């Protein structure tokens, strides 16, 4: 290692020395009036410049690098953490000003407020045999009003596990309005009313298919569907309603919806798949709907017969 370092240091010293010698000669030449560093014989200017360079060369030692860290005001990680803190601890509470121009989402509500109300709901649920009926009138639970909007409890079933969840009651109002509009627009004959039970051709599925079509064209669209497909009766047509008393139990209802979703008729996915499609393309999609419903109709009929048979024996 020493054998390598020594020559390097030696060469470095020689270079510096040669540089100093050259500068000194430039000073000498400049002071004698000969062509100096500027090439025009200006001795004083050459002398001044050369002396300055000689001083730099003789005083050259080593360079020290100092690291300095400056805070970045646009630190994305820090900003993300601040956003998360705001979301969890500075959300809307019971004391927030009333919001009237939109429906607030649960993500906007302070986490502590939500957790406190969920705990009350769970206690009520456990003490009332797995039911939340009447929880808003119970003095120990009461109503949760955030920014002037009421939030209620609801039973949630996920992966076979039942638990409580929260829902803005204005969402209920919005969903009822949307359902009534779907009933009205999909029912070809306005004299047909919903009498209860299950819609074979779901209203939400019909709304997903026609999403984007002008309101004035909805009635003609569904009239064309009803006339073109012998087993499709949209809206509140009597043939589109399956009465619960005919053996269509709540259990069967859930199974049917799972089969519809598994067959590709999940309203949310259908709406996304048909987004931007023409009315003609949406009409063509009815061929798939017709075939799936025909298969499910056969399944429902068998299960309903079994359920009626069980009911007659009891």
Q: Looking at the 3D structure of the chain, how many domains does it have?
A: 3
**Nearest CA among 38, 59, 58 for reference residue 48:** 38
- Is 120:141 a contact under the CB 8 Å cutoff? yes
Q: Are residues 307 and 201 in the same domain?
A: yes
Q: State the distance between the two ends of the chain, measured CA to CA, in whole angstroms.
A: 100
Q: Does 177 fall in a domain?
A: no
Same domain, 155 and 251: no
**How far is Cα 248 from Cα 253, in angstroms, rounded to an integer?**
7
Residue 178 maps to a domain: no
Q: Which long-range contacts (CB under 8 A, 24 or more apart) does 304-309 make?
A: 304/242, 304/246, 304/247, 304/248, 304/252, 305/247, 306/247, 307/247, 307/248, 307/249, 307/252, 308/246, 308/247
Domain hosting 124: range is 88-168
Number of alpha carbons in the 13 Å side-chain half-sphere of residue 196: 7
Answering whether pTM is above 0.75, one says no
Q: Are residues 156 and 197 in the same domain?
A: no
Give CA 259 to chain center in angstroms: 27
Judgement on whether residues 123 and 212 belong to the same structural domain of the protein: no
- The span from the CA of 236 to the CA of 189, in Å, is 8
Looking at residue 22, its pLDDT comes to: 47
261 assigned to some structural domain:
yes
Please check whether residues 142 and 203 belong to one and the same domain.
Answer: no
Contact in structure between 225 and 217 (CB atoms under 8 Å): no
Q: Strand, coil or helix: what is 199?
A: strand
- 19 lies in the same domain as 129: no
CA 176 to CA 204: how far, in whole Å?
Answer: 12
- Give the position of tokens 């999909």: 186
Q: Is residue 181 part of a domain?
A: no
Give residue 11's pLDDT.
46
Residues 277, 204: one domain?
yes
**pLDDT (tens place) for every residue of the chain, 314 residues total:** 444 444 444 444 444 444 445 444 544 554 444 444 444 444 555 566 556 665 655 555 555 555 555 555 566 776 776 666 555 556 899 999 999 999 999 999 999 999 999 999 999 999 999 999 999 999 999 999 999 999 999 998 877 788 999 999 999 999 999 999 999 999 999 999 999 889 999 999 999 999 999 999 999 999 999 999 999 999 999 999 999 889 999 899 989 999 999 999 999 999 999 999 999 999 999 999 999 999 999 999 999 999 998 876 65
Q: Which of 117, 137, 168 is the last residue of a domain?
A: 168
- CA distances for 192 relative to 48, 181, 195, 309, angstroms: 107, 14, 9, 30
Instruction: Say whether both 38 and 96 belong to one domain.
Output: no
* Separation in Å, CA 80 to CA 48, 76, 132: 58, 6, 37
Mark whether 217 and 308 lie in a shared domain: yes
Q: State whether 213 and 145 are in the same domain.
A: no
CA 232, 234, 238, 242 dihedral sign is: positive
Q: Examine the domain organization and report whether 220 and 295 are in the same domain.
A: yes
Residue 4 lies in a domain: no
Residue 128: inside a domain, yes or no?
yes
- Which residue do the tokens 């540089």 mark? 19
228 within a domain of the structure (yes/no): yes
Same domain, 204 and 303: yes
Q: Pairing between strand 161-168 and 144-146?
A: unpaired
Domain boundary among 168, 199, 234: 168
Report yes or no on 77 lying in a domain: no
Mark out the alpha helices in the chain (DSSP H runs): 2-31, 43-58, 76-89, 111-127, 169-186, 203-209, 218-228, 250-262, 267-273, 279-313
Q: Which residues are within 8 A (CB) of 274 and not within 5 positions of it... i.e. 6 or more apart?
A: 208, 209, 211, 212, 281, 282, 285
């Amino acid at each position: 290692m020493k054998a390598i370092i020594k020559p390097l240091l030696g060469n470095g010293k020689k270079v510096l020395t040669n540089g100093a010698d050259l500068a000194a000669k430039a000073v000498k030449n400049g002071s004698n009036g000969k062509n100096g560093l500027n090439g025009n014989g200006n001795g004083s200017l050459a002398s001044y410049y050369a002396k300055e360079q000689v001083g730099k060369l003789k005083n050259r030692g080593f360079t020290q690098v100092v690291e300095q860290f400056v805070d970045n005001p646009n630190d994305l990680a820090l900003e993300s953490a601040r956003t998360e803190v705001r979301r969890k601890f500075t959300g809307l509470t019971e004391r927030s000003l009333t919001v009237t121009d939109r429906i607030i989402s649960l993500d906007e509500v302070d986490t502590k407020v939500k957790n406190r109300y969920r705990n009350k709901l769970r206690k009520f649920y456990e003490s009332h045999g797995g039911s939340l009926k009447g929880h808003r009138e119970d003095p120990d639970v009461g109503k949760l009003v955030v920014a002037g909007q009421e939030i209620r409890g609801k039973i949630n079933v996920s992966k076979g596990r039942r638990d409580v969840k929260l829902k803005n009651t204005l969402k209920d109002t919005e969903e009822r309005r949307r359902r009534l509009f779907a009933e009205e627009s999909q029912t070809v004959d306005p004299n047909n009313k919903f009498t209860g039970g299950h819609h074979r051709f779901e209203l939400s599925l019909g709304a997903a298919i026609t999403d984007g079509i002008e309101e004035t064209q909805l009635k003609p669209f569904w009239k064309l569907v009803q006339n073109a497909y012998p087993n499709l009766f949209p809206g509140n047509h009597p043939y589109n309603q399956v009465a619960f008393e005919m053996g269509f139990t709540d259990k069967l209802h859930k199974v049917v919806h799972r089969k519809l979703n598994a067959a590709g008729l999940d309203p949310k996915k259908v709406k996304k798949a048909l987004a931007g499609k023409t009315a003609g393309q949406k009409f063509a999609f009815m061929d798939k709907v017709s075939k799936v419903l025909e298969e499910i109709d056969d399944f429902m009929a068998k299960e309903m017969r079994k359920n009626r048979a069980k009911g007659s024996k009891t």
